[in-house]
Amino acid sequence: MKCDLCDFLPEGPACVRACPNQALRLITDDSLQRQMKEKQRLAASWFANGGEDPLSLTQEQH
């Protein structure tokens, strides 16, 4: 169940502010969309490289 008891507060929900480990974060819809697109891009790159980590490939392997 989603809690929405105090998300209207200007400083954000109390649970996000009080979390000592910063495990809870507020993000905008735009930020979520950007993160999802980046994750999809990395997954496609991984698949296109035959399962190799695209960040570990050398120039000769490209």
pLDDT digits (tens, 9 = 90+) for 15-39: 988 889 988 888 889 999 999 999 9
Interatomic CA distance for residues 6 and 13, integer angstroms: 5
CA angle (61 as vertex; 57, 34 as ends), nearest 5: 45
- For residue 2, what are its two tokens? 């989603």
- Whole-model pTM over 0.85: no
| Contacts by residues 42-48 (CB-CB < 8 Å, ≥ 24 positions apart) | none
